[in-house]
Every structure is written in structure tokens, then in C-alpha cells.
Amino acid sequence: MATDIRETIHAVEAAAVMRLLPARPRLLALGEPTHGEDTLLDLRNELFRQLVEEEGYRTIAIESDCMMGLVVDEYVTSGTGTLDEVMERGISHGWGASAANRDLVRWMLAYNDGRPASERLRFAGFDGPLEITGAASPRQALIALHGYLSARVDADLLPCTAETLDRLLGPDDRWTNPAAMRDPAQSVGQSAEARELRLLADDLGALLDEQTPHLITATSRDDWDRARLYGRTATGLLRYHFWMADTSPSRMTRLVGLRDRMMADNLLAVVARGPALVHAHNGHLQRHKSTMRMGGLPLEWWSAGALVSTHLGEGYAFLATALGTIRHQGVDTPPPDTVEGLLYALPEDRYVVDAPRLATALDDTRPAPRVSPYFGYSPLDPAHLAENDGIVFVKDVSQS
């Protein structure tokens, strides 16, 4: 058994990853089983450098606010702003404080220095402007989309004025009220103003599509891509707020599903401009259905990875990451009858595993699911090993 497993492992290098796949994927997804560990982000950074230098990848997308990500992209492509400002305003969830994320942004800026636009690296956040406690106001995205269109198309084609949008939006704290996540009655998502805004956002997005040839000529494809992001974000947020106001039993299932739908749409837009690496939680990138319990209720939904994989086929590849220990979080040596325990017994500190071959090697073993004492770590599900293209295994993670 140990011999069979050893035949499935390789060094964590871009070349080794590519040998596991039938072709270079348009989107290579690297998952993580927990957030906030710079050890995993350092590994991501090194893999991205190799993909850039050896495989022609030019974009990295991370699990961060897509609107905030525009700040980082502007910085790495043109040097606009300072690194401190960009890390604070360009990466959400507090992850701008990560030393590894800072290293990534610094390296991308240095790499782009002196290179033509076609060879520069790009950065994207692909999450919606969402937090577990609620969602952002659609104001920024809606006003930006309207502004882009109003400067470039005839006024009589626009469905509304900026003043109308401002009036319907009202104060932003109506939208960002954290009480709305637990109490639908606190949400404005199904108010008369919100319903009208959904129609206007749809009309603005349709006008953007209708005027594409003119808009790309008058500005640039990058500007048009950004306007498309504004449109996706505005409609996605308004849809999300609508379901925050819902009182049916499917409310939370719809909310988590809508978040991953927004993620998927952003990822498909990213790969339209070339091959990219995406890094996020395993649960957002896996091909099988995601599950969790929230408020005592079991939730099931299709992840962004499952949705994108359906569109891209072999153009999508997924590497799940698994860990042996996170001792500072109480995650100690995995039991030997789990997948993580079998991998932990090998001498190497980290490696990438051919997941389908590993599943075949373990077919008669039926490893037990690992149970983590730390809610923030999601163990591998042995029932879905073969649905991963690879597994990156890190034996021990020290405190960041």
C-alpha cells in the first residue's frame, strides 16, 4: 500500500502539476482547507511564479472582493498608489495584512516593471462584495456602470439618470445593516426601491452589451471589461439583497449559492483574457456539491468550481490542499486510517498527489473521514478523491 501511494506523489512544482493534466488548463484552481495560513499562501505564490515563468500564466485571482481587487490590479499594472494603501483598500476580509499577500503584490509590481501591457501580470478578486454578516450596497457598482455609459452613449438611451439611482439607493447603511442577515425584516432587498433598481441594473447591463462595438472602440477592452464587472456586481448584489429579505426555508441555501454564482461569473470573465491561477477555499473550487450547516440548518449548493468546470471542461483543473497538522489550532497528527494520515506517514514535507491514482490505490482500503476539532479546517472527503485532479499535501503548518 505504501509503495502504491508513493507512486502517486510528486514535487509541488508547476511542471509536475502540468504532467498530471491532459493539457494546460485555462483555469488552474488551487484550494486551501483553511484560511489565514501564510504557509499555504507562500506555496501559492511560488507556484504562481513558476506558472508565470514556465507556462505563460498572466493572472491570479483570489477569494477577495472583486471591486476592491481593481485597486490591486491598477497598482501592479501601473504603480498607482502605495503598497500600504493598496493592501488596506485592495484586499478584503482583513487579508491585506498577510505578509504572503503583500509579497505577492510586491513581486507582481516588480515583474511588470518595463514590460509591455500584453505581458503584464494581472490581479483579480473574484468574490462578491460580501461578508458573512451581510452584503455591500450596490451603489459603487451601479453608479460606476451608469457613469461609464453616460459618458459614451446618447442620454436618451439610458434608462435613468444618476440622480434617480441616488434617490432609489438612499443611505448605504440601509443595505449594510448586519441585522438583516439573521432577520429578513431588516433587509431592504424586496422594497419597492430595490425592485426598481433591479430592473434598472438589468437595463444598464443590456445597454452595455448592445453598445459593445462602439464602447470598445471609444475606450478599450480593459475599460469595457471593468464596466462588465460593475454590471455583474450590481445585479448580483441586488439579487443577493432580494434573498436576504426572503422568509422561506430556502433563504440561506439561495444566499450561499448566489455567492458562488457571482464567483463563477467573475472567474469566467478572468479566463476570457488568458490562463489564470485561482486560489480560494477548497469548498469554493471543488467539483462536487458543497455542504455546511448554518444556524442549525444543512445547506447544499454548487460551488464556483463546479459551475466553472461545467463551462470549461478540461479547461478547468482543481488541486485540493490538505494538511497534516495545524497545531496552533489544535489540529494534531491525523489518524492513520484517514487519507491525511496515510499521506502524513510519508517522509516528504509537501508534495502534489495524483488524486485519481490515489483513489484507485485506496479503492480497497476505504479510508475513514477525518474529523477536525477546529471548525476552520475542512478535511478531505475520501468519497470525492477522484474528482480532484491533484492534492497538494502539506505535512505541518506553523503559526503565521
Q: What is the DSSP string of 271-312?
A: HTTS-EEEEEEHHHH-SSPEEEEETTEEEEE--HHHHHHHHH
Residue 152, pLDDT > 80, answer yes
354-380 mean pLDDT: 93
Digit-coded pLDDT (tens) for 177-234: 999 999 999 999 999 999 999 999 999 999 999 999 999 999 999 999 999 999 999 9
Say how far apart CA 167 and CA 134 lie, in whole Å. Answer: 22
pLDDT value for 2: 52
- Cα torsion at 341, 344, 346, 352 (round to 10°)? 110
Helix, strand, coil share (%) of the chain residues, nearest 5? 50, 15, 30
pTM comes to: 0.96
Q: What is the pLDDT of residue 380?
A: 95
DSSP state of 36: S
* Inter-residue contact 260 to 29 (CB < 8 Å): no
What single-letter DSSP state applies at residue 368?
B
- Residue 318 bridge partners (DSSP): 29
| Average pLDDT for 136-149 | 98
Q: Is the pLDDT assigned to residue 366 strictly greater than 90?
A: no
Q: Where are the beta strands (DSSP E) in the chain?
A: 9-10, 27-32, 59-65, 122-127, 130-131, 134-135, 276-281, 290-294, 297-301, 316-325, 350-353, 390-396
Tell me which H or E stretch contains 223. Answer: helix 221-244
Q: Give CA separation, 100 vs 95, 193, 237, 280, in Å.
A: 9, 42, 30, 14
Please determine, for residue 3, whether its predicted confidence score (pLDDT) is greater than 70: no
- Say whether pLDDT at 165 is over 90: yes
Q: What is the mean pLDDT of residues 84-98?
A: 96
